[in-house]
Structure 1
Amino acid sequence: MTLISILIPCFNEEENIRNCHARVAAVLDGLKDVEAEIIFTDNHSTDLTFAILREIAEEDPRVRVFRFSRNVGYQNSVMFAYKAARGDCAIQLDSDLQDPPELIPKMLDLWRQGNQVVYGIRRSLPDGPVVAALRRAFYWFIDRVSPDELPRNAGEFRLTDRVILDQIRRSEDRSPYMRGMISAMGFRQAGFDYDRAARVAGQSKFPFRAMLGLAVDGLVNHSLLPLRLASTVSLLAGLLTFLVLLGYLVGKLLFGQEWPPGFATLVVLLLMSMTLNAMFLGILGEYIGRIFLQTKNINAPIVEAALNAPGPVTPLRMEAAE
């Protein structure tokens, strides 16, 4: 009998969570020779999400719920769910139902054909034209600059085999970018096209600022381009400074050129130098900050309450209140 784990991160989704469970359960009930567990990770919701999950867990023994003591961010919440998964494979989808649970049988078919990772490729997006264009531009850019093969237009809707889950359990990344981490592991991966639906109810928990932060995580975690860009621009600036100095000396010593005081030029060059220094120190700070998070083990989820999940399930730090 095959055991599959359904991973559903949630935060303030009281309007969606029952419908999400009902649709997932309906799909699972229609599968033959399959057992399932449904793992909800509640990122310290401030609405009725956890209360509803408690009721669902009492009604459905397949449901396991982990509520964190604070909001640890979407990616850390997802990583915890992957580590807690006990199935032969795990399928991640969002609780807002933009990724249709009805596609789970298709993903299982592709998995049974020998693919260790099966991911959905967003053929269409419900976002506005500007946001959709920015998403696709980012996917193209990160694929171009990263040495890892990151699939374009692929989001969080994916299936991962047990061999991938075992690799994730060994990771202690405190600022993970899960889609990049899984893609970079290699193995046999396959994508399929689907149309992403609009949010059923509630408000998006991913405003532009959060998407920008995720883009920075993806770039910094999977490319050294920012550091190499800093080095390249510094070399070019140094070369330009040397050429200007050389021109000044040639004009002064060989042609007796009397240069004007050049106060404005000096100020502009100083400001440009300060701006470049500040920008590249910021880039270095992004990498150093991630090293700091890693060494201090900051952002490790602490479980405040666990439902239908007796005993330790993951090497992450856990303090279960229930």
Structure 2
Amino acid sequence: MKHITVVTPCFNEEENVEAVYSETRRIFSTISNVTYDHLFIDNASTDSTVSKLRDIAAIDPAVSIIINARNFGHIRSPMHGLLQAKGDAVILLVADLQDPPELMRSFVENWLAGAPIVIGVKPEAKEAAFFFALRRIYYRLVTRIANVKLIQNFTGFGLYDRKVIEILREINDPYPYFRGLICEIGFDVLQLPYVQPRRKRGISKNNFYTLYDIAMLGITSHSKVPLRLATIAGFVLSGISLCVSLVYLALKLLYWNKFLMGSAPMLIGLFFFSSVQLFFIGLLGEYVGAILTYAQKRPLVIERERINSGGQTTSRQCTEQSGL
């Protein structure tokens, strides 16, 4: 039988870990030709998430847990979990249940039919229209400027064959943009659309900084267009400045006593060019920071503890064992 590992990253998800475990168990009990195990990687939660996971692992040997020494962020921790998975294929499923677990059944069916990567994409989401529009604009922008064809409305939810995981291991990126790496690999990707529901329990752990972080990571990891735009903008603005200065010189020579340049144009020009410089210096800093992170080659996470060694259970055992 083929074996699948479901990887669930979590941080302060005490209200959801039991539900996502039960849903995963229920779904795999209906798939007769595969076995599975469920790996939770906890990012140093400060609530009762870990204690609830311990209770689950105590009654189900198919559940294993990695507890990080500290919060290593929403980018590094899920990747570490994927690399620790033991299955012939790995499914990445977040703990908040906004990615529908039911779709895992279709993932497995298409994988058994030969697809190396099967992912879920969300062309629609039940969230505020303003934020969803911002996401769509970002996805379209990154897709246009990237040096590979990125997948729009893709967050990482999907199934990945063992050979894909091994390639990711060889890449050994210390701060990976996972969505882009899947496209970099070049394997055929089967996309299954779904409508993302609203979060039912708990609150999102994403904030402005985390969203900005992943947005900039997507740009700096897969595009040089912003750097080239900075160079082009420099040439264009220097040309405009030269033309404006020549016009002012001509007007002053023609109307020496009447034409007064004044301080307003100078101040406006000073603030404008300073703002442009700061913007592109910041953009350059993002690229330099990405290079520094890669050069340091720090581990994705430091583990504090592992619970269970990663057992496996058959579909029949899923229905026979007692669950939560």
Give the structure-1-normalised TM-score.
0.89
1:74-89 matched pairs, under 5 angstroms? 74-89=74-89
CA distance in 2, matches of 1:305, 1:87: 21
* Structure 1: tracts of 5 or more residues without a match: 311-322
Secondary structure of 2:192 counterpart: strand
User: How far is 1:290 from its partner?
Assistant: 1.4
User: How far is 1:169 from its partner?
Assistant: 0.8
User: How far is 1:226 from its partner?
Assistant: 1.9
CA distance in 2, matches of 1:211, 1:126: 18
Secondary structure of 2:131 counterpart: helix
C-alpha deviations, 1:72-121, integer Å up to 9, x for none? Answer: 11111111011111211111111111112222121112222322211112
Partner of 1:48: 48
Secondary structure of 2:102 counterpart: helix
Kept after mapping to 1: 8 A contact 2:77/2:300: no
Partner of 2:172: 172
User: How far is 1:256 from its partner?
Assistant: 7.5
CA distance in 2, matches of 1:197, 1:272: 43
Give the structure-2-normalised TM-score.
0.89
**Runs (4+) of structure 1 moved beyond 6 Å?**
none
Look up the equivalent residue of 1:266 and give its one-letter code.
Answer: M
Partner of 1:198: 198
Higher relative contact order (CA 8 A, sep 6+): 2
Kept after mapping to 2: 8 A contact 1:119/1:192: yes
1:59-74 matched pairs, under 5 angstroms? 59-74=59-74
Q: Taking structure 1 as reference, are residues 248 and 197 closer, same or farther at Cα in structure 2, changes over 3 Å only? A: closer
User: How far is 1:49 from its partner?
Assistant: 0.7
CA distance in 2, matches of 1:90, 1:65: 15
Look up the equivalent residue of 1:49 and give its one-letter code.
Answer: T
Secondary structure of 2:174 counterpart: coil
C-alpha deviations, 1:194-222, integer Å up to 9, x for none? Answer: 12222231111123442233222212222
CA distance in 2, matches of 1:95, 1:194: 17
CA distance in 1, matches of 2:89, 2:309: 18
Partner of 1:306: 306
User: How far is 1:285 from its partner?
Assistant: 0.7
* Structure 2: tracts of 5 or more residues without a match: 311-324
Partner of 2:285: 285
The answer to whether the aligner puts 1:145 opposite 2:141 as a matched pair is no
Moved more, 137-146 or 293-302: 293-302
User: How far is 1:124 from its partner?
Assistant: 2.5
Look up the equivalent residue of 2:57 and give its one-letter code.
Answer: A
Partner of 1:8: 8
CA distance in 1, matches of 2:91, 2:2: 13
Partner of 1:113: 113
The number of residue pairs the alignment matches comes to 309
Kept after mapping to 1: 8 A contact 2:76/2:174: yes
Kept after mapping to 2: 8 A contact 1:293/1:299: no
Partner of 2:185: 185
User: How far is 1:296 from its partner?
Assistant: 2.2
CA distance in 2, matches of 1:123, 1:283: 29
Partner of 1:156: 156
Kept after mapping to 1: 8 A contact 2:220/2:290: no
Partner of 1:128: 128
1:30-41 matched pairs, under 5 angstroms? 30-41=30-41
C-alpha deviations, 1:130-173, integer Å up to 9, x for none? Answer: 11111222222211111211122222211111121011112332
User: Share of identical aligned residues, percent?
Assistant: 33
CA distance in 2, matches of 1:150, 1:274: 34
Secondary structure of 2:158 counterpart: strand
User: How far is 1:22 from its partner?
Assistant: 0.9
1:241-280 matched pairs, under 5 angstroms? 241-248=241-248, 259-280=259-280
CA distance in 2, matches of 1:100, 1:256: 73
Secondary structure of 1:101 counterpart: coil
User: How far is 1:187 from its partner?
Assistant: 0.8
Look up the equivalent residue of 2:116 and give its one-letter code.
Answer: Q
Q: Taking structure 1 as reference, are residues 16 and 240 closer, same or farther at Cα in structure 2, changes over 3 Å only? A: same
